[in-house]
């Protein structure tokens, strides 16, 4: 008995390990079980053999096109958000009191997608402030179409996705010892060289993680694709297809199959990005044993 306990303890298992139980139960009940349930369900189509749902998805352009459409939205949006968050985070790090700016940048997260969509409809719509201003000034003689198309969803993903991306990037940027940049400056490196040779290489692994998390968020876009996009056309994203299958066709098996494909695409992109990450330096971004 004692022997077993000692062996377990050596491997890091003791009474404290029991504290993991609630979290483990939670994950099993709310993630693993529904996932497996959906997976099994996706192989039990209404008609046809067990692969019929997947066969239908990949033979119907109205369905398989959604993967491309979603990627076409999610990848550029995520890249833009990541690229834009770096200079902002670098600037915020140097500020004496970054709280105000951080708060302003983070507000869109607290609003939620639907509220942002409402605002955008008012602001960017054909009779919205922006278009009325443009027409008034004479910069344009017809309203600019920024909603109910690709760009509406794009903009909304930038507005709601940027704060999240920015906060992640900021945490990675602040993890880089400022003395490293100072050391670079002392050795004659100019601003751009310091960024390219010192900051960026140390930031890349963190940016890869940031990209993955932001991408997963953007890929599962739903409300804004419906409210601000063209859910029957350009922005018929994969979650819209899943929604249609589940709640308009009442084909839960098909909806599960689409959800599984959606997850698979995300896993492929994330795994690919993390695979690239292993090419970069990964280690402490501080200056040695200080």
Of the pair 99, 289, the CB lying nearest other proteins is at 289
User: Looking at 125, 128, 184, 231, which residue binds other proteins (CB under 8 A)?
Assistant: 184
Which residue is it, tokens 């709640």? 247
User: Looking at 10, 99, 127, 289, which residue binds other proteins (CB under 8 A)?
Assistant: 289
Piece in contact with other proteins (CB under 8 A), picked from 26-34, 126-134, 189-197, 218-226: 189-197
Q: Which two structure tokens, joined as six digits, stand for 270?
A: 């994330």
Of the pair 173, 254, the CB lying nearest other proteins is at 173
For the CB of residue 177, give the shortest distance to other proteins in the complex, in Å: 7
The angle that helices 238-247 and 252-277 make with each other, rounded to 10 degrees, is 160
Of the pair 18, 281, the CB lying nearest other proteins is at 281
According to the binding rule CB under 8 A, does residue 122 interact with other proteins?
Answer: no
147: left (phi over 0), alpha (psi -120 to 50) or beta: beta
247 burial class (0-12, 13-18, 19+ CB within 10 angstroms)? exposed
Stretch 140-179: interaction string toward other proteins, x if CB under 8 A = -------------------------------------x-x
Of the pair 118, 177, the CB lying nearest other proteins is at 177
Of the pair 203, 270, the CB lying nearest other proteins is at 203
User: Looking at 6, 182, 233, 247, which residue binds other proteins (CB under 8 A)?
Assistant: 182
Which residue is it, tokens 């999610």? 74
Is 43 strand, coil or helix? coil
User: Looking at 187, 192, 248, 278, which residue binds other proteins (CB under 8 A)?
Assistant: 187
Stretch 198-227: interaction string toward other proteins, x if CB under 8 A = x--xx-------------------------
How far apart CA 123 and CA 120 sit, in angstroms, is: 5
According to the binding rule CB under 8 A, does residue 192 interact with other proteins?
Answer: no
Number of residues engaging other proteins in binding (CB under 8 A): 26
Give yes or no for a contact between 218 and 77, defined as CB atoms under 8 angstroms apart: yes
Is 48 strand, coil or helix? coil
For the CB of residue 188, give the shortest distance to other proteins in the complex, in Å: 4
For the CB of residue 86, give the shortest distance to other proteins in the complex, in Å: 17
* Alpha-carbon distance values, 155 to 111, 123, 146, 177 (Å): 15, 12, 8, 34
Question: What stretches of the chain show up as alpha helix (H) in DSSP?
Answer: 2-10, 21-27, 33-42, 52-59, 61-94, 99-111, 113-124, 129-137, 150-174, 178-186, 191-194, 200-219, 223-227, 238-247, 252-277
Of the pair 15, 290, the CB lying nearest other proteins is at 290
Of the pair 104, 179, the CB lying nearest other proteins is at 179
Of 274, 144, 157, 147, the residue nearest 211 (C-alpha): 274
For the CB of residue 277, give the shortest distance to other proteins in the complex, in Å: 13
Residues that bind other proteins (CB under 8 A): 177, 179-180, 182-190, 193, 197-198, 201-202, 281, 283-290
């Amino acid at each position: 008995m004692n022997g077993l306990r000692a062996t377990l303890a050596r491997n890091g298992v003791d009474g404290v390990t029991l504290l993991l139980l609630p979290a483990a139960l939670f994950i099993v009940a709310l993630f693993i079980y529904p996932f497996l349930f959906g997976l099994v369900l996706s192989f039990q189509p209404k008609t046809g053999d067990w692969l019929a749902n997947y066969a239908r998805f990949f033979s119907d352009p109205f369905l398989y096109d959604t993967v491309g459409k979603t990627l076409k939205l999610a990848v550029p949006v995520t890249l833009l958000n990541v690229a834009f968050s770096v200079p902002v985070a670098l600037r915020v790090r140097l500020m004496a009191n970054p709280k105000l700016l951080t708060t302003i940048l983070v507000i869109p997260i607290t609003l939620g997608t639907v509220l942002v969509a409402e605002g955008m409809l008012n602001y960017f719509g054909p009779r919205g402030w922006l278009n009325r201003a443009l027409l008034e000034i004479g910069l344009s003689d017809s309203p600019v179409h920024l909603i109910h198309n690709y760009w509406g969803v794009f903009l909304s993903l930038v507005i709601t996705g940027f704060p999240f991306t920015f906060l992640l990037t900021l945490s990675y940027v602040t993890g880089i010892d400022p003395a490293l940049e100072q050391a670079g400056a002392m050795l004659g490196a100019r601003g751009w060289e310091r960024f390219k040779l010192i900051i960026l290489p140390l930031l890349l692994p963190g940016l890869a993680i940031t990209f993955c998390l932001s991408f997963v968020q953007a890929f599962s876009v739903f409300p804004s694709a419906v409210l601000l996009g063209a859910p029957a056309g350009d922005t018929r994203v994969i979650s819209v297809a899943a929604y249609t299958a589940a709640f308009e066709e009442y084909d839960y098996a098909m909806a599960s199959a689409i959800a599984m494909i959606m997850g698979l695409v995300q896993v492929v992109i994330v795994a690919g990005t993390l695979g690239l990450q292993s090419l970069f330096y990964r280690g402490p971004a501080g200056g040695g044993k200080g």
